[in-house]
């Protein structure tokens, strides 16, 4: 996994504060799939690339134990510092070396992270740790939609056509841009679900802070440290002007939807 884009402490703080929250309804969709072939209590889940822990938390009501792992020490420190759940813990570890015994996990989940993995090694590791009949769930989002089309167009231009257009990692282009349709999975029988989305209300500055957490922006900053502030200021200015609002930018609320693509697959029970 590439980790230099997510290793700074300030990025972990922004991630915790501004990344949209995955819902309990999403967790229930995944857990329902796991339970289709498992009647006994769900014991262990692992959340891979857990970041600052928001995705791990939604699994806590459904499993006796949830382990969140990430390669970024600041992200895990942030997740641990904010953890209030007795059945959730966090560790620094790569996706390709999950720190659990063989055939001990009912669910491996990774949200907005699988595109960073060495998928051949990751899939072999998933097969090692899942119990027979256990499940892998991977999901992502890309190109959010605003309630106002002009804002959506500005956002998409910022992401794909502006100064960051050459800052997208090849794995993101290969996997994320295809909404994981090209992502290698460890087993046959993959279920694809596009029925859900994350929806939230944000001020424009909050959305701009969210945009500052994405990897192409972090790469742009690495290449152009003198220009990073101007890029976000221009985004905020463009979004605000497009609303034609007279409210202060800090008070103007916009509705944003992040469409989810979810893949779920089950290890054969044999």
SS3 213: coil
Instruction: Compute the distance between CA of residue 218 and CA of residue 224 in angstroms, rounded to an integer.
Output: 10
Domain that holds residue 85: 4-266
Compute the CA torsion angle 118, 173, 221, 259 (nearest 10 deg): -100
Instruction: Compute the distance between CA of residue 90 and CA of residue 70 in angstroms, rounded to an integer.
Output: 8
CB 57 within 8 A of CB 80: no
pLDDT score at 55: 92
Model pLDDT for residues 83-126, shown as the tens digit of each residue: 999 999 999 999 999 999 999 999 999 999 999 999 999 999 99
SS3 138: strand
pLDDT score at 244: 92
Residues 6 or more apart whose CB falls under 8 angstroms from that of 145 comprise 152, 256, 257, 258, 259
Place of tokens 């990751």: 122
Number of residues that make up the chain: 270
Q: Is 115 exposed, middle or buried (0-12, 13-18, 19+ CB in 10 A)?
A: buried
Structure tokens at 85: 């759940």
Q: Which of 131, 140, 132, 134 is nearest to 112 (CA)?
A: 140
CATH code: domain of residue 11: 3.40.50.150
pLDDT score at 1: 40
pLDDT score at 5: 42
Structure tokens at 228: 């990073």
Model pLDDT for residues 50-60, shown as the tens digit of each residue: 988 989 999 99
Structure tokens at 126: 């998933």
CB 185 within 8 A of CB 265: yes
Q: Give me the residues of the chain with pLDDT under 50, please.
A: 1-7
Structure tokens at 135: 């499940």
Q: Which of 104, 106, 99, 125 is nearest to 114 (CA)?
A: 125
pLDDT score at 42: 95
pLDDT score at 18: 59
pLDDT score at 204: 94
> Based on the structure, what is the number of domains in the chain?
1
């Amino acid at each position: 996994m590439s980790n230099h884009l997510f290793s700074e402490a300030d990025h972990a703080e922004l991630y915790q504060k501004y990344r949209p929250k995955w819902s309990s309804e999403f967790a229930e969709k995944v857990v329902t799939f796991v339970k289709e072939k498992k009647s006994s209590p769900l014991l262990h889940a692992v959340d891979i690339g857990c970041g600052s822990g928001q995705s791990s938390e939604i699994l806590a009501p459904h499993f006796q134990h949830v382990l969140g792992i990430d390669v970024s020490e600041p992200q895990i420190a942030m997740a641990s510092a904010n953890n209030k759940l007795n059945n959730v813990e966090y560790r620094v570890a790569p996706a390709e070396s999950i720190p659990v015994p063989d055939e001990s996990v009912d669910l491996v989940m990774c949200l907005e992270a699988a595109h960073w993995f060495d998928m051949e090694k990751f899939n072999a590791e998933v097969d090692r740790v899942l119990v027979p009949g256990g499940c892998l769930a991977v999901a992502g989002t890309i190109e959010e939609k605003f309630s106002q089309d002009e804002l959506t167009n500005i956002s998409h231009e910022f992401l794909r056509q502006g100064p960051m257009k050459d800052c997208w990692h090849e794995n993101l282009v290969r996997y994320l841009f295809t909404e994981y349709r090209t992502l290698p999975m460890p087993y046959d029988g993959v279920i694809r679900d596009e029925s859900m989305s994350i929806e939230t209300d944000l001020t424009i500055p909050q959305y701009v802070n969210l945009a500052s957490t994405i990897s192409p922006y972090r790469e742009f900053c690495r290449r152009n440290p003198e220009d990073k502030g101007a890029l976000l200021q221009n985004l905020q200015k463009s979004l605000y002007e497009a609303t034609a609002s007279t409210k202060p930018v800090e008070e103007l609320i916009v509705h944003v939807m992040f469409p989810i693509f979810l893949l779920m697959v089950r290890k054969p029970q044999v």
